[in-house]
Amino acid sequence: MQKFSPMRLVPHLLAVFCLLTATLANLPAAAQKQALLRVGVAGLSHDHAHQVMSQFKKSLVEIVGIVERDHLLVERYKKTYDLPDSLFYNDLTTLIMNKKPDAVLAYNAINEHLAVVEACIPKGVPVMVEKPLATTMVDADKIATLSRKHKVPVLTNYETTWYNSNQFVYSEVKNKGSIGAIRKMVAHDGHEGPKEIGCSAEFLNWLTDPVGNGGGASRDFGCYGANLMTWLMDGRAPISVTATIKRIKPNVYPKVDDDAVIVLEYPDAIGIIEASWNWPYSIKDLEVFGVKGYLQAQDGNRVRQRSKDTYQQLNPPITKYTDNIQYLQAYLRGEVAPGVDLSSLENNLIVVKILDAATRSAASGQKVKL
């Protein structure tokens, strides 16, 4: 009998080692591909749809289907982003049945959000809409009823949710107590106007329509401050809402308002929302005054902090979730604790309630109690 030599196994072991090494080397890319969120897209008339297309092109998300009725708009997106015909569907029901997406992202008119929810939620497909949640409390309540009945989430996406500055201010106020109890919040949000900055015709068509958008700047930008203040107030609705809403450029925006000041009254604080399509530049900032100091999120990445005797400019750290796709994926994995965070249904029901009250207050000239 031939004596066994361990050396005879070396070539075989080496081959196995090489195979394992090659497999492991390929795992990150494969794992990343498998981990991509698979989404359907409902509508392309909201110019924020370009964001998800950019995410798609960077392989940050997988788009499994798109529903859009405007054929000219479809052709433009196909050409701009080199999208195949096979990606487009006539309706959400067919898209969901054929592709079974992890979630659907809505980039259509605000008054069309309810129809997206009605198509998706009973089928177990989560929805993330662009801000605000709805144009009316009637629609908002129907959305909430469907979400709660089927236990399927409906979330709302705001650009300001992913600002490092806002997340830092919240942490300083709520977790560290660095400025003491909140006494006043002021949010400035807006730009020169959607027509002035070159928004697409399809976007302008419903953004400047009182039915499609529920209003003008008061809705388009008033929702940001309402969202952030509801968050800072731990999900509490204000006691009352008082609003002055104006149409400064009726020749440009004949159907909707273009400037609004909305005052929110809380038991121990005041919130002031300044929303406008008349700013001399684009602005999204948030000021929070406490009993001991002041914090201002100047933009997405800069924060000013003041107390009675000190002043400093801060560069906040990068937040945990830097965009809606990261957050949505984590939410669906159960990694986001339920509550009244900026995207939550609970927060955004209050946002719609505030905006609805602001419209009524401006029309009546009276404070509206909630």
Q: Please write the tens of the pLDDT for every residue from 115-125.
A: 999 999 999 99
Structure confidence by residue, pLDDT tens digits, 125-149: 999 999 999 999 999 999 999 999 9
In angstroms, the Cα distances linking 320 to 103, 110, 163, 296 are: 21, 28, 10, 20
Average per-residue pLDDT in the chain? 92
In angstroms, the Cα distances linking 304 to 165, 182, 219, 291 are: 10, 16, 28, 16
Asked whether residue 23 carries a pLDDT value surpassing 80, the answer given is no
Q: What is the per-residue pLDDT for 338?
A: 78
Q: Quick one: 369 exposed, middle or buried, by C-beta within 10 A (0-12, 13-18, 19+)?
A: exposed
CB 125 within 8 A of CB 118: no
Residues in the chain: 370
User: Domain 160-320+339-369: which topology?
Assistant: Dihydrodipicolinate Reductase; domain 2 (3.30.360)
pLDDT grade for 32, boundaries at 50, 70 and 90: very low
Structure confidence by residue, pLDDT tens digits, 140-193: 999 999 999 999 999 999 999 999 999 999 999 999 999 999 999 999 999 999
Enclosing H/E stretch for 301: none
- Opening angle at CA 106, ends 137 and 257, nearest 5: 50
Q: Does domain 38-157 have CATH number 3.40.50.2300?
A: no
pTM: 0.90
The full set of domain ranges for the chain reads: 38-157, 160-320+339-369
CB 249 within 8 A of CB 208: no
Residue 243, classed as helix, strand or coil, is: strand
Q: How far is residue 366's CA from residue 193's CA, in Å, rounded to a whole number? A: 27
More confident residue, 9 or 301: 301
Instruction: Provide the residue type at 304 as one letter.
Output: R
Percent of the chain with pLDDT over 90: 89
